[in-house]
Chain A
Amino acid sequence: SQTIHQWPATLVQPVGSPLSLECTVEGTSNPNLYWYRQAAGRGLQLLFYSVGIGQISSEVPQNLSASRPQDRQFILSSKKLLLSDSGFYLCAWRNRGDLYWDGYTFGSGTRLTVV
């Protein structure tokens, strides 16, 4: 069965520090991968998505970047965190080969607090 792993679960970082969040998927190959952010009490905002190794599309200009060094690994990074980067970060995947539009599977999320 397919599973998605996301870590760490919680993170407190000072302003100006770097960030690296990792997401890995098991049990599938060549998935579409996504990073979302959710501010407190708000809906989910798509940050990045990837349809293959090294292929990253950005939805919103920001202080963050994403990379996909391996087929089932998706990394969210920042060189210098801002207070506004605080939020709940979620990784998601879906199969690219499906002929119909089915559901995404989300990770358990990382709660990032920038202080």
Chain B
Amino acid sequence: LAKTTQPISMDSYEGQEVNITCSHNNIATNDYITWYQQFPSQGPRFIIQGYKTKVTNEVASLFIPADRKSSTLSLPRVSLSDTAVYYCLVGDHSGSARQLTFGSGTQLTVLP
């Protein structure tokens, strides 16, 4: 499983766009990139997943450059309720177990 590196913490203000970048230099051909959000005392929640270029859903956008060695989660117009830990994970669809390895994540704090 590819190792990921992301900032430990970030601060932002309400209404701003937040971009969290994750490095995954040893990403493999079959690997997908997935982001999760976790609030205190809750399980992580799936946000978005992508393989290359750009993916957008109702919550966020995921930008992946051509070399796929990094990815950026973009949260538009954050609110106080977006304060959470955000995890970047990289994994492939080979094998039956497909266990996830979580890093330390990025603590995003949205300020009023």
B-contacting residues of A (Cβ < 8 Å)?
32, 34, 36, 42-46, 49, 51, 57, 59, 88, 90, 92, 94, 96, 98-109, 111
Interface residues on B, range: 20 to 34
Q: Does B101 contact A (CB under 8 A)?
A: yes
Q: Determine which residue in B36, B44, B49, B101 has the highest number of CB atoms from chain A within 10 A of its CB, and name it.
A: B44
A44: chain B residues within 8 A (beta carbon): 44, 87, 100, 102
The interface residues of chain B lying within 8 Å CB-to-CB of A111 are 41
Complex contacts, B101 vs chain A, CB 8 Å: 46
Complex CA–CA separation, A70 to B66 (angstroms): 44
Minimum distance in angstroms from A21 CB to a CB of chain B: 13
- Minimal beta-carbon separation of A59 from chain B (angstroms): 7
Q: Provide the bound-state CA to CA distance between A80 and B31, in Å.
A: 39
Out of B87, B92, B102, B104, name the residue touching A101 (CB < 8 Å): B92
Known pairs A34-B99, A59-B99, A94-B98; list 4 more (Cβ under 8 Å): A34-B100, A51-B97, A88-B41, A104-B44
Tell me whether A99 and B34 are in contact in the complex, defined as CB-CB below 8 angstroms, given that A32-B98, A90-B43, A109-B41 are known contacts. Answer: no
B residues near A, CB below 8 A?
Answer: 31-32, 34, 36, 41-46, 49, 87, 91-93, 96-105
- B residues in contact with A98, CB < 8 Å: 93
Complex partner residue of B96 from A42, A51, A99, A109, CB under 8 angstroms = A51
Which residues from chain B contact A96 at a C-beta distance below 8 Å?
A: 96
Q: Out of B34, B41, B42, B104, which one reaches A43, CB within 8 Å?
A: B104
CB-nearest residue of chain A relative to B96?
A51
The answer to whether B103 touches A43 (Cβ under 8 A) is yes
Q: Are A100 and B32 in contact (CB under 8 A)?
A: yes
